[in-house]
Structure 1
C-alpha cells in the first residue's frame, strides 16, 4: 500500500468517515442541509488540504480530484437524510471520528514519505492530516477542539504515524499491516474515550 489504487481507496474511505463525522456534528447543532454538507466537507478535507500544502502537492487533491469533494458531500448528505435512524448522535460522531483518525494517519504519513519528507517530518504530517479535519469540524460547530483538550487524540495519531513510518522503513507497508495499524489506532482512541484517559494538564 505504498501508492496507487489501494492508497486512493483508503484515502476516500477516510474522507467518507470524516465527512460523516462532521455531518453528524452539524446535525446535532441543527444546521440546514448546506451547513451540514459544508461542515462535512471541511471535516473530511481540512486535514488533507493541510497535508498537501505542507508537502508541496498543489493544488491539493481536495480541489484537483473531483472524487474527494463528491465523496465528502455525498457522505454528508446521506447522514443529513438518515440522521433520524442514527441513535445517540454524539456516540456516532466519536466512533466515526476515531475511524477517520486511524485512516488519515496512515494515508497522511505514507503520502509525506512518498513526497520525500524525512521520517520525523512525515510523522508530524501524518498527525496533522489526522487531526486537521476534527479541528476544523469543532471550530465550525462552536466546540472546543478535541485536540486541545485533555483527551488522548493527537497522541494516538502521532504514535500511529510512527508505527506507519517504521512499517514503511522495514518494507512491511502492505495493505494488511497498514489496515491493522489503522484499526489499532481506532480502538485505542475509543478505549481512551470509554476509560477517560487523558494527558496531564497544568495545575492553576
Structure 2
C-alpha cells in the first residue's frame, strides 16, 4: 500500500548539491524531522506547514529515517522578502577600528599585491543588507524537477525584485525558499 508524503527541501541545500530529480523519478531522502519546526511554520504559514510530513536534509549527517518512493509532484516555494539597506558603519559590518570613508568614497581595498600587476583583494560595499521574510507570503508553483539540466529547468521567476538601486532604504522582492515534493512512499 502506497502512502502520499509531502517533503520539504531547503533551497540552500539543493541549490548547491543533491542529485537532480523530476516528477516520476524514484527518490531516497534522508529525513531530519517528521514535523515542521517553528521556522518552517513562519516561512510557509500555518496552513501550508501543516501539509508537510517530513524535512529532508543531506549535508550535516546521514539520517537513518529514510523516505523512498516515486515523485508525483514538485512545487517551488517562493516567498516575499524585504531587503533593508543601511549604511555600513564601523562596528556595524565594518571593523570597529575602521574610519568611515568620506561621502561618495568606497571602503578601502584590502588584499595582497602578487606582483606583475596582479592584486587580489576585496572591498566591502557601503551598505549592509538585511533580508526580512514577510509572514504568510509563500506561494507554490508546479515545476518539473529540482536541479535539472538548464535545458529542462523551468523558467526562473522565483526572484523578482523592484528595480535595484544601490541607495539605502527598503525594497520588496520574491525569493526562492525551497521545494515541496509529494512522494508516493512505499510502505
TM-score for the superposition, normalised by structure 1: 0.24
Task: Give the helix-richer structure, 1 or 2.
Answer: 1
The structure having more radius of gyration, on CA atoms, is 2
By relative contact order (CA 8 Å, sep 6+), the higher-ranking structure is: 2
